[in-house]
Amino acid sequence: MKPREKKLYMDLAQRMGQMSYCHRAQVGCVVVKEDNIISYGWNGTPAGEDNCCEDEHGISKPNVIHAEDNALRKLTRTDSSSKGAEVFVTIAPCIRCAEKLSDARVSKVYYAALRKGRTVGIEHLQRHDKLFSHAHQTAFQHNECMGLW
């Protein structure tokens, strides 16, 4: 995949994040396979529930679904497979999402920002040779995302 295509998909992940009603962090995800977007998602509450993602203290509610999980769930409702796909996510995956992405057999995960102190998901992806991020971060030109956390 060409660098300008990677930037495009990360830009689209950023746009997906803007669809979230979450105040603490709006996270977006795009799943790409063979130059086609096969799924996308953003963090939020399950369909039919109140779109409030945080409690009165600003803490994420336990029912909030992460962007990567939303994209993978959406993909299960199609005939497409995530095997060999590339994932673009605006914030590095947590350990649960990293495990789900590994189980989904994606080939690469790109992220634009890292949440301080939360590297377990990244370490999991590195152990499984699926993480491609900081080397491409400047190509995405999303360094401003680093200030979110």
Q: Strand order in 108-113's β-sheet? A: 36-42, 28-33, 86-91, 108-113
Other CB atoms within 10 A of residue 23 CB? 11
Contact 85/64 with Cβ under 8 angstroms? no
108: DSSP letter: E
| Angstrom distance (rounded) from CA 99 to CA 35 | 24
| Angstrom distance (rounded) from CA 97 to CA 73 | 12
Whether residue 68 lies in the annotated active site: yes
Of 54, 68, 99, 144, the catalytic one is: 68
The one-letter amino acid at 30: V
Other CB atoms within 10 A of residue 131 CB? 22
List, by residue number, the catalytic residues: 68
